[in-house]
Amino acid sequence: MFKFLFKKEQQVQQLISKYLENLRMTQEHFEKAMDCYFDFGLGENCDFLIKQTHKFESRADDIRHEIIEMMYSKVLIPESRSDILRLLESIDLIPTHFETVLFMIQGQSLKVPDFITPDFRELLRVSLECCDLVIKQVEAYFKKTEDIKALVHTIDSHESRCDHMEREIVRNIFDSHLDPFEKIQLKELVIQMGEISDQADRVSRSVHIINIKRRV
């Protein structure tokens, strides 16, 4: 009986690792799509990368549902089942934000002006660093390999930096001579891009809390 339960727990752990690897692939294709957009604008190559991002995001949903089904099939794990499921739901919002950014650009045929493109790129870079750190933190939680609290502080620092960049970009947009409607569109894009680091920070704090509960 105990061997059976242990085997099931291992299967859940393997699925979570698979889920995180798929998250990495989603992020990788999102980053490629954004780089293509910044370098060449919308077009066939960018559309292909947007579709690939969506494909991996959908696969992440499938893996998450598989994890949920297994965890409710009499699988016992040391951590609280509800905590883990809420954590997965929170993580799953990160690739959702990736998609929202891409669909906003594609659906509205947005064009980021050259004078502000470097700032958008920097916001994207730091936001994706937050995501890299969160994946590392979640893996550390399940494998018990690193100081989770230290990662929380690093992610929080990155998120604060993103907040500052968002405000600066929006200010520069509205100080420019762009069309008022274009300003509003770009502001909404900045806000949506900012949601990536915001959500990464929320996930990070959730991991930290769950880790504290595990040690109590």
Whether the pLDDT of residue 18 is over 80: the answer is: yes
Q: What is the pLDDT of residues 108-159, one digit of tens each?
A: 999 999 999 999 999 999 999 999 999 999 998 887 766 788 899 999 999 9
The model's confidence at residue 2, banded by pLDDT at 50, 70 and 90, is: very low
Whether the pLDDT of residue 90 is over 80: the answer is: yes
Which two structure tokens, joined as six digits, stand for 70?
């297994």
The model's confidence at residue 186, banded by pLDDT at 50, 70 and 90, is: very high
Please report, for the domain that includes residue 50, its CATH number. 1.20.58.220
Note the pLDDT of residue 5: 42
Note the pLDDT of residue 110: 95
Averaged pLDDT for residues 70-79: 63
Contact 148, 207 (CB under 8 A): yes
Whether the pLDDT of residue 3 is over 50: the answer is: no
Structural domain of 42: 2-215
Whether the pLDDT of residue 169 is over 50: the answer is: yes
Averaged pLDDT for residues 166-181: 96
Tally of domains within the chain: 1
- Chain-wide mean pLDDT for the chain? 89
Highest mean pLDDT among 75-79, 193-197, 212-216: 193-197
Note the pLDDT of residue 74: 59
